[in-house]
Homo-oligomer: A and B are copies of this chain.
Amino acid sequence: MCSATTASTHDRDQLCINTIRTLSMDAVQKANSGHPGTPMALAPVGYTLWSKYLRYHPEHPDWPNRDRFVLSVGHASMLLYSLLHLSGVVEIDEHGQASGNPAVSLEDIRQFRQMDSKTPGHPEYRMTTGVETTTGPLGQGCANSVGMAMAGSWLGQRFNRDGAALFDYNVYVLCGDGDMMEGVTAEAASMAGHLKLSNLCWIYDNNTISIEGHTDLAFSEDVGERFRGYGWNVIHVTDANDTHALGQAIEAFQAHDDAPTLIIVDSIIGYGAPNKKNTAAAHGEPLGADEIRLAKQAYGWPEDADFLVPDDARTYLRDQMVERNQPAYEQWQATLQQLDATLADELNRMRAGQMPDGWMDVMPDFEANAKGVATRESGGKALNAFASKIPWLIGGSADLAPSTKTKLTFEGAGSFSAQNPSGRNLHFGIREHAMGAIANGMALCYLRSFTATFLVFSDYMKPPIRLASIMELPVIFVFTHDSIGVGEDGPTHQPIEQLAQLRATPGVLTLRPGDANEAVQAWKIALEQTDRPSCIVLSRQPMPTLDRTRYASAEGVARGAYVVADAENGQPQIILMGTGSEVGLCVEAYEQLKANGIAARVVSMPCWELFEEQDEAYKQSVLPDAVIGRVAVEQAGPLGWERYTGRTGAMVVMSSFGASAPIGKLQAKYGFTVDNIVKLATEQAQATGRS
């Protein structure tokens, strides 16, 4: 059966597999930290996939139609770095150009887990070419992959013409027991099954070992049956070293066209390490020099060679990938040339993170209105206006669209489904966590994605919000029902600390607009971002639309905070600061104070992060140090407001959870009334007048 050639092929395959294993062991050992066991176990899986199946051209890692490879078990980063090294992937710099360097050099591998290296402990998007998403927090990569697969379907509908496919990539994920246990994975898997994402393949490393010991301690479900319940195609490979069976499984995935595929692969963590394999000791720490030596013996490897890439392995993986993918890449380029100019321009803009021309022409303008509208309403109108001009702005809510007002209602928006992957309204179901992670996955594949739910449920999706910021993705997270203004639903549904949570997260813009026109500005600003996520925080209840002929323009939102109404002559005695629904309240109080002869200023502060980015002169012009009489008004917890009130200012904020009652009663109970603000402002004016 075995000719000399195939034996040689087999030997070289095995040589590459063992190179991945030994590089991983050596890198972890040198760094004196990391996770060797999973790369050792999954080297045959990664190698088989990359060498024989993955549509990925090492010289063109930015090929839009490449298959996406997601290492959801991000702690096994050395597996990915080894694959990137052996496949000779070239580095693409931040301007999208080939730098001339490899994505991961052998020296980079030696620098594993060191400061400013391209080989951090967990794979980080934007830091290493070939890393498709930042993984580490378990479950996130799995959920990202669902967004990538949805994006693939959507892009295919948008750009494929006359049987020529610009987008038909597959998404492959390596995941583990931790991913299988995390709830976000369960949500994402249910959604993937519902959407019949046949371009999605998860390879589950069933190694039965977790940090506390055998998975039997905590995990004994029948994963296959569970996934069949989700509507997945389930395949079992009983030995991770059986590359033939792995190949057959991947081919079965590729042939399956109406469901996502789960390949369950039984593996031995730390394979080859005689004393530590199949134990938790192989998971998260270096094997130690002695055990490495023994493992290398087991692989038939030179015991004392560190970071060895044998000559026969040096370009073998790369050559296979180039040879296999070159024709497809050329075909793709030819197809791209055929694309009509409008769509070609669209694709270029999407890839560059640019907007269509004229996208701002449709900005709604709201007239002054004392009763006004809820910002969820005005925000929904702004979203619809902008979305009508930005074809690749797509998103949806966690089963709350009628409440969040985020449904795209214009002609042709449609609902995304297995039958209609060109739809732009996404129905996430009651799966907030996966919603956030799926939106991240879509943003990684050129789409401008948005999500929507109630602000209190931002708690359920904090992990992907954080990752959107770490990855510098301009995902837009809409959060409505933003305060005790929720009313009767009570404390479980009334956000208190959520604004502080979002503001505390580095790199996130948190925008809480103060009326309809500020809501429009908030959407504009969020859409202008290219490298950070935005949270747009909107009210359930109506608030007055300010008369902008009388008060300052809402364009001040762009500077984060701005003077809405000011003392008529000279310096104010007191500054009222508010966000969202409290801006209108401050304006009412301001008018009352004016009638009482107290010179106040109202500062709307919809976005602290943008305000902090202004120069000192602007900040002083809005909040002059000399005016220490200050009242902050926000239907949320106090944390952080001292930055602006100083230690002597007053606050009208929530110092407890809310209660179930009609909104008017709640606002009175907690002091969100004009009278209370006037009273506190008057006290502040008197106190500072004395000082």
Contacts of A507 in B (CB 8 A): 656-657
Contacts of A184 in B (CB 8 A): 183
Closest to A138 in B: B430
A470: contacting residue among B116, B428, B491, CB under 8 A? B491
A193 to B662, CA, bound (A): 41
Closest to A188 in B: B183
Q: Is A487 positioned at the interface, with any CB of B under 8 Å from its CB?
A: yes
How many chain A residues touch the partner (CB < 8 A)?
A: 112
Closest to A496 in B: B506
Cβ–Cβ contact B470 & A463, under 8 A:
no
Q: Is A647 positioned at the interface, with any CB of B under 8 Å from its CB?
A: yes
Contacts of A459 in B (CB 8 A): 137, 462-463, 466
Closest to A115 in B: B661
A497 to B508, CA, bound (A): 11
Contacts of A662 in B (CB 8 A): 113-115
Q: Is A238 positioned at the interface, with any CB of B under 8 Å from its CB?
A: no
Q: How far is the CB of A104 from chain B (nearest CB, A)?
A: 14
Interface bits A186-207 vs B (CB < 8 Å: 1, else 0):
1100110110000000000000
A237 to B491, CA, bound (A): 34
Cβ–Cβ contact A182 & B430, under 8 A:
yes
Contacts of A31 in B (CB 8 A): 488
A194 to B402, CA, bound (A): 38
Contacts of A335 in B (CB 8 A): none
Q: Is A177 positioned at the interface, with any CB of B under 8 Å from its CB?
A: yes
A222 to B122, CA, bound (A): 35
A639: contacting residue among B117, B121, B228, B503, CB under 8 A? B503
A504 to B134, CA, bound (A): 27
Q: Is A225 positioned at the interface, with any CB of B under 8 Å from its CB?
A: yes
When A470-B657, A506-B497 are in contact, do A193 and B221 touch as well, CB less than 8 Å?
yes
Cβ–Cβ contact A397 & B490, under 8 A:
no
Interface bits A603-643 vs B (CB < 8 Å: 1, else 0):
00000000000000000000001000000000001011011
Cβ–Cβ contact A218 & B191, under 8 A:
yes
Contacts of A121 in B (CB 8 A): 488-490, 493, 660
When A122-B489, A431-B182, A504-B497 are in contact, do A223 and B218 touch as well, CB less than 8 Å?
no
Contacts of A137 in B (CB 8 A): 456-457, 459-460, 492-493
Interface bits A383-422 vs B (CB < 8 Å: 1, else 0):
0000000000000010111110000000000010100000
Contacts of A501 in B (CB 8 A): 462, 497, 500-501, 504
Cβ–Cβ contact B504 & A429, under 8 A:
no
Cβ–Cβ contact A399 & B660, under 8 A:
no
Contacts of A223 in B (CB 8 A): 229
Cβ–Cβ contact B182 & A187, under 8 A:
yes
Q: Which one, A38-46, A164-172, A209-217, is touching chain B?
A: A209-217
Contacts of A228 in B (CB 8 A): 222, 225, 229
A505: contacting residue among B226, B497, B666, CB under 8 A? B497
A506 to B492, CA, bound (A): 12
Max chain B CB contacts within 10 Å: which of A186, A191, A228, A427?
A186
Closest to A74 in B: B492
> Taking the full assembly, how many copies of this chain does it contain?
2
Contacts of A185 in B (CB 8 A): 183
Cβ–Cβ contact B194 & A219, under 8 A:
yes
When A137-B456, A178-B430, A229-B221 are in contact, do A639 and B639 touch as well, CB less than 8 Å?
yes
Q: How far is the CB of A276 from chain B (nearest CB, A)?
A: 14
When A33-B488, A121-B488, A178-B399 are in contact, do A657 and B506 touch as well, CB less than 8 Å?
yes
Q: How far is the CB of A145 from chain B (nearest CB, A)?
A: 16
Closest to A120 in B: B660
Q: How far is the CB of A109 from chain B (nearest CB, A)?
A: 14
Cβ–Cβ contact B122 & A181, under 8 A:
no
Q: How far is the CB of A259 from chain B (nearest CB, A)?
A: 11
Cβ–Cβ contact B181 & A183, under 8 A:
no
Q: Is A98 positioned at the interface, with any CB of B under 8 Å from its CB?
A: no
Q: How far is the CB of A53 from chain B (nearest CB, A)?
A: 28
Using a CB-CB cutoff of 8 Å, which residues 135-186 of chain A contact chain B? 135-138, 177-178, 181-186
A180 to B608, CA, bound (A): 37
Cβ–Cβ contact A226 & B220, under 8 A:
no
Cβ–Cβ contact B488 & A212, under 8 A:
no
Cβ–Cβ contact B134 & A218, under 8 A:
no
Closest to A223 in B: B229
Contacts of A493 in B (CB 8 A): 121-122, 136-137
Q: Is A659 positioned at the interface, with any CB of B under 8 Å from its CB?
A: yes
A500 to B502, CA, bound (A): 10
Cβ–Cβ contact A183 & B456, under 8 A:
no
Q: How far is the CB of A458 from chain B (nearest CB, A)?
A: 9
A431: contacting residue among B183, B193, B433, CB under 8 A? B183
Cβ–Cβ contact A33 & B487, under 8 A:
yes
Cβ–Cβ contact B221 & A657, under 8 A:
no
A331 to B437, CA, bound (A): 53
A429: contacting residue among B210, B470, B665, CB under 8 A? B210
Q: Is A669 positioned at the interface, with any CB of B under 8 Å from its CB?
A: yes
Q: Is A582 positioned at the interface, with any CB of B under 8 Å from its CB?
A: no
Closest to A193 in B: B221
Known A-B contacts: A135-B492, A500-B501. Give 16 more (CB < 8 A): A74-B492, A115-B661, A134-B492, A136-B489, A182-B430, A183-B434, A186-B187, A193-B221, A218-B399, A221-B230, A225-B228, A469-B657, A497-B501, A504-B639, A642-B642, A646-B647
List the interface of chain A (C-beta within 8 A of B): 31, 33-34, 74-75, 113-117, 120-122, 124, 134-138, 177-178, 181-187, 190-191, 193-194, 210-212, 215, 217-231, 280, 397, 399-403, 415, 417, 427-431, 433-434, 456-457, 459-460, 462-463, 466-467, 469-470, 487-493, 496-497, 500-501, 503-507, 625, 637, 639-640, 642-643, 646-647, 654-657, 659-662, 665-666, 669
CB-defined A-B contacts under 8 Å, sample of 17 = A33-B488, A114-B661, A114-B662, A115-B666, A137-B460, A181-B187, A181-B429, A186-B187, A210-B399, A210-B429, A210-B430, A211-B402, A220-B231, A224-B229, A467-B492, A496-B506, A647-B647
